[in-house]
Structure 1
Amino acid sequence: MRAWVVRAGENGERERAALEDGVLVVGWDRLALGHLSDYDTRDEIRAAVAAAYPDEGPYTIGNWTGQLYRFVHEIQPGDLVVLPLKSSRVAIGRVTGGYEYRSGAAEGMRHVRRVEWLVRDLDRREIQSDLLDSLGSLLTVFEISRFGAAERVAALAEGKPDPGRPDADEFAATLTEPAKLYEEVRRRGDGEPLTLSIRDFLAVWGVQRRHPASTEQIKNDLEARGLVTVPPFTDGTLDSRIAVLAGGAEPDESGSSAVSRLTALKAMSTMVNDVLGILGSPATETGPAPSGVSAGLTGRLPEEDDETRAIAYRVSNLDSANRMPECVRVGDSLGTATTLMVLRGYSQLPVLDTDGRLRGVVSWESIGRARMADPAPGLHAATVRGQEANGSDDLLDWIGAIQQHGYVVVRDPDHKVCGLITAADLTVQFGTRVRPFVLVEEIEQRLRRVVDRCIPLDRIRATVPRGRASRVHSAANLTFGAYKHLLKEPDNWAALGWGIDQDHFLAALEECRNFRNDLMHFSPDPVTDDQLSPAQGLLELLRSVDPQT
């Protein structure tokens, strides 16, 4: 049994029909060519998508092809599916039928799968944050497989609590404040360093994302208590693991610090490899780290004066940079490579040596060039030099190369391949990051329009300090926070003519203001659907009371 997410449109426009008719529905209406199930391979679906959408680039076509192939062929009867709803709740169903094409259905309702809805209104707060994060992709159709997702969705569908990830660090949940973290590090000493995920580490301070304010607070607390993290907690994804050490403790009898002693273990390569196989480096999803050894052994040491690394958008901040890609090995046949590329719909594959280091990349272009010289080339002849980045590199420095070549292979500090970033990954990543800004911008635009239309300028000016009033010529000159003060006045609220509860609206406005302020502080961590839902709800309310476009 597998678990999937199938969205009901970008704005939930197919949500009602999906729930009432008992179906999963996807768009792509230009593919009005009968049953997609008649197309057995990704290449056949890709050709159909490219013909229906001739203005789209190859990476968009590839991304759409993958989603449609999953919807038609990979989702099976008996699989579970999650449908995120506009109401900040989710529905969970069990797939009961194969793909159908309904030629007579309304636009946007033609590609369907039958589903039995088991739960229609599950509160998102019943789902733990790591599983919620997995639901946050902007893709319409995708599988959720990390952290025991299928079993957890099954439990939720039966009305049981989310059991949490199988490798959940129950001990980390007891570290509810910095003082407890400090006491635990002191109790263990450097012989048994405390290891935990960055997500659990941030939770000690009650935060979910790394932005300058929270990062500065945590750094100050660590410095005041003589603690350091290896690698720095500002590097990697939220699920990367770090060790917390007493970096400020005096040297031991050998004259070395706790950090140096931990790092010295890296020289013991056999031991490190065994340990990484147990706990999983940031490139794997193997299980929790044992308490005695840190996943940060191969990580870069924190530098005392390295302020520039406090917050940066690193290559390692992308999930795909920490997920071992499908690959072939030196000595494999070219047939092995092409078979994998067709099966998975890949444009290229890394070629690795026996130590896991990159020896090149094989792509459809390189295969074509090799066959021009030799009708039956081997893998070596079709292997070309690959684009290779360190996980600690600035992601922005690699965007041009990814756009030009379509990918970059990611290596860890030991120069072993640990991930692969494609142009499609960038599209999803930055689409996720842009969405909150677009949402907040529409909220502000709607507020400005209705205020300018309904409230006289003199009353708008009365909201700001007297010395600034002359510079206010419309609602566009107000700060976001000023709307709460403006609209709590009875006359101003009455002027809007809205038949909604004022107190609830102002509370939602304040919650959105806090979300907006947090958003404007750069963070390498994505905004989840759960964090976005209050602002999304406010926007839907504004669209309802002021439907003018």
Structure 2
Amino acid sequence: MTIFAVLLGAQLIRSRHMTEQREQGDGRMRAWVVRAGEYGQRETVALENGMLLAGWLGLGDLAEARTRDDIRALVAAAYPDEGAYTIGNWTGQLFRFVHEIQPGDLIVLPLKSLQVAVGRVTGSYEHRADSPDGMRHVRRAEWLVTDIDRQTIQSDLLDSMGSLLTVFELSRFGAAERVAALAEGKPDPGRPDADEFAATLTGPTKLFEEVHRRDEDDPLTLSVRDFLAVWGVQRRHPAATEYIKDELEERGLITVPPFTEGTLDSRITVLAGGAEPDESGTSAVSRLSLGTLTSVAGPAVTHIIKRAAELLRPAEEPEQPNVAYRVSNLDSANRMPESVRIGDGVETAMTLMLLHGYSQLPVLDPDGRLRGIVSWESIGRARLADPAAGLQAATVRGQEADGSDDLLDWIGVIEQSGHVVVRDHDHKVCGLITAADLTVQFGTRVRPFVLVEEIEQRLRRVVDRRIPLDRIRKVVRERPERVHSAADLTFGAYGHLLRARENWAALEWRVDQQHFLTALEECRVLRNDLMHFSPDPVTDDQLLPVQGLLELLRSMDPQS
């Protein structure tokens, strides 16, 4: 059988399976987010007319585009100056909008009012050529509730809604069932696997007491997010992590792995590492490292013991900084990728890559360790040399990073090869980072800076136009003569400047001064927060006040 026959067969199987799902339904509740534009510019039309609206100015009718390739061709023709990544990303979103979203699915629309609307899809894709450009790609929907307070939605679901994409599925943490509860006017019930016990750890003392209360073979395990919440912290800033580390050290505790590794949803275990020696004269650390507990511990605890022994072994090198941008800080580094095993056929690899739209797959040994990479390129090269070449011939050497490595050291490799496989501390594969993952990750990180920068630029221009220089200089305590324009002010100085009645009056803005100054202060706090490194991204929910302030400035001074 030729490679082309295999590819065609796999594509036919996939198309038939998707058709059967559309005709019969798979019985699984699904929930999606379809945004109404980056700044909610389509939300009024969507809500008032009972519809979902995808943007994409200048893109024609997609009704006859049956496959991803059909949509990709139309997108590429409409946007000839865009690169392959952007075309592929937009193709995926539009394919979801046209084909994957089904009547009966739940839909979520985050609103400019800081509320959330939830509805149900009622119609198939339509193209309305006589509508304004940007509002021609339509799905009918019934809006069930349009004023859900974000405070009734738990942070993990809000974070999931914070993607920069316009069309995406909410698939993690039981999202569909939780959205269904919101549609019925109920509060978010929380993730099905939520750690209710972690919610009882209302302060450091509670956590310390719980760790010391437990037996060594039943350690306290919780997410990094819940661990930080014990100290009232949402992100891992250097100051916060130093403070928490000092508190742990004073209590003789360690976390395994360190709470500075992984994502906010990664699990860590808190251990009493500084307890006094027992009757045998050995510490808990030594007992852990000697493995004396492994006979009574399950597999999960045994892994914790091994990791603790690594962490507590005398260091041969200087300790690394508490907070750094590690490979493990990316979600994809902690998500087991699709893979093939030694002994599988090359057809298995090709089928998996077709089904999931992947360009490569890790090849693993029976213990889950990396033995190489198989890709479309490596299969093509192997089949050129031997039309009957199998998986072994098509497997090439793969790049492998440890989760604790500095991510910046791997960016060049990912850029060149398109990916890097991630291994855990047992050298087993636990994730795969692609160039697309980096693009999304750093795009998310750049966005807050772009928003704050535009706010600052708009403030500078309006202040320079409306307020005399001598009054601008009055808010500067040291060497005001060095201030030549608003560009020489710190961000915090704008609050002091606009608090003065005569300066506020000079702007001629018909908005409430106190509310504006409050929003400006929230933006200042976030700006200062951004200046302190943290491996955790700013969530969409945390950005809402900044987006609101920017929209207000744009509406009051649209020409600036």
Normalised TM-score (structure 2): 0.90
Q: Deviations over 1:235-293 (max 9, x none)?
A: 01111111112222223334443344445559959966x43xxxxxxxxxxxxxxxx78
Matched, 1:39 2:65: yes
Tell me the residue number matched to 1:236: 262
One-letter identity of the residue aligned with 2:326: R
1:325 to 329, 333, 337: 337
Tell me the residue number matched to 1:180: 206
Tell me the residue number matched to 2:422: 410
One-letter identity of the residue aligned with 2:236: R
Once the two structures are TM-superposed, the CA of residue 474 in structure 1 deviates from its matched residue by 1.0
Distance in structure 1 (CA, Å) of the matches to 2:321 and 2:196: 30
Q: Which runs of 5+ in 1 are unaligned?
A: 276-291
Distance in structure 1 (CA, Å) of the matches to 2:303 and 2:201: 18
Secondary structure, in 3 states, of the residue corresponding to 1:548?
coil
1:484 to 484, 495, 498: 495
Distance in structure 2 (CA, Å) of the matches to 1:528 and 1:186: 34
Matched, 1:371 2:399: no
Tell me the residue number matched to 2:552: 541
Once the two structures are TM-superposed, the CA of residue 499 in structure 1 deviates from its matched residue by 1.1
Once the two structures are TM-superposed, the CA of residue 452 in structure 1 deviates from its matched residue by 0.9
Matched, 1:356 2:368: yes
Once the two structures are TM-superposed, the CA of residue 485 in structure 1 deviates from its matched residue by 1.1
**Distance change (3 Å), C-alpha of 1:453 and 1:87:** same
2:272 to 231, 246, 262: 246
Distance in structure 1 (CA, Å) of the matches to 2:406 and 2:65: 41
2:40 to 3, 6, 12: 12
Distance in structure 1 (CA, Å) of the matches to 2:533 and 2:70: 42
One-letter identity of the residue aligned with 1:442: E
**Distance change (3 Å), C-alpha of 1:264 and 1:97:** farther
Distance in structure 2 (CA, Å) of the matches to 1:527 and 1:135: 13
**Distance change (3 Å), C-alpha of 1:52 and 1:264:** farther
One-letter identity of the residue aligned with 2:224: I
2:111–2:117 Cα contact (<8 Å) kept: yes
**Distance change (3 Å), C-alpha of 1:428 and 1:506:** same
Tell me the residue number matched to 2:173: 147
Once the two structures are TM-superposed, the CA of residue 193 in structure 1 deviates from its matched residue by 1.7
Matched, 1:494 2:521: no
Alignment of 1:191-206 (within 5 A): 191-206=217-232
Distance in structure 2 (CA, Å) of the matches to 1:117 and 1:83: 10
Tell me the residue number matched to 1:526: 537
Tell me the residue number matched to 2:25: none
Q: Which runs of 5+ in 2 are unaligned?
A: 1-28
Secondary structure, in 3 states, of the residue corresponding to 2:235?
coil
Identical-residue share of aligned pairs (%): 76
Distance in structure 1 (CA, Å) of the matches to 2:322 and 2:273: 18
One-letter identity of the residue aligned with 1:483: Y
Distance in structure 2 (CA, Å) of the matches to 1:359 and 1:22: 52
Greater mean deviation of Cα atoms: 133-142 or 229-238: 133-142
Distance in structure 1 (CA, Å) of the matches to 2:548 and 2:306: 44
Tell me the residue number matched to 2:311: 301
Distance in structure 2 (CA, Å) of the matches to 1:266 and 1:491: 75
Distance in structure 2 (CA, Å) of the matches to 1:416 and 1:269: 23
Matched, 1:514 2:514: no
1:96–1:116 Cα contact (<8 Å) kept: yes
Q: Deviations over 1:273-319 (max 9, x none)?
A: x43xxxxxxxxxxxxxxxx7886854752688865331101111011
Distance in structure 1 (CA, Å) of the matches to 2:432 and 2:355: 18
Aligned residues: 529
Once the two structures are TM-superposed, the CA of residue 61 in structure 1 deviates from its matched residue by 2.5
**Distance change (3 Å), C-alpha of 1:47 and 1:204:** same
1:195–1:295 Cα contact (<8 Å) kept: no
Secondary structure, in 3 states, of the residue corresponding to 2:139?
strand
Tell me the residue number matched to 2:118: 92
Tell me the residue number matched to 1:69: 95
2:217–2:296 Cα contact (<8 Å) kept: no
Distance in structure 2 (CA, Å) of the matches to 1:264 and 1:155: 49
**Distance change (3 Å), C-alpha of 1:417 and 1:44:** farther
**Distance change (3 Å), C-alpha of 1:315 and 1:298:** same
Q: Deviations over 1:353-379 (max 9, x none)?
A: 222122221211112212211223222
Once the two structures are TM-superposed, the CA of residue 418 in structure 1 deviates from its matched residue by 0.9
Matched, 1:444 2:456: yes
2:362–2:421 Cα contact (<8 Å) kept: yes
Distance in structure 2 (CA, Å) of the matches to 1:344 and 1:30: 29
Matched, 1:342 2:368: no
1:193–1:245 Cα contact (<8 Å) kept: yes
One-letter identity of the residue aligned with 2:436: A
**Distance change (3 Å), C-alpha of 1:255 and 1:49:** farther
Greater mean deviation of Cα atoms: 190-199 or 456-465: 190-199
Tell me the residue number matched to 1:23: 51
Tell me the residue number matched to 1:504: 515
Once the two structures are TM-superposed, the CA of residue 121 in structure 1 deviates from its matched residue by 1.9
Q: Deviations over 1:330-356 (max 9, x none)?
A: 222222222222222111122222221
Distance in structure 1 (CA, Å) of the matches to 2:314 and 2:525: 32
Once the two structures are TM-superposed, the CA of residue 55 in structure 1 deviates from its matched residue by 2.9
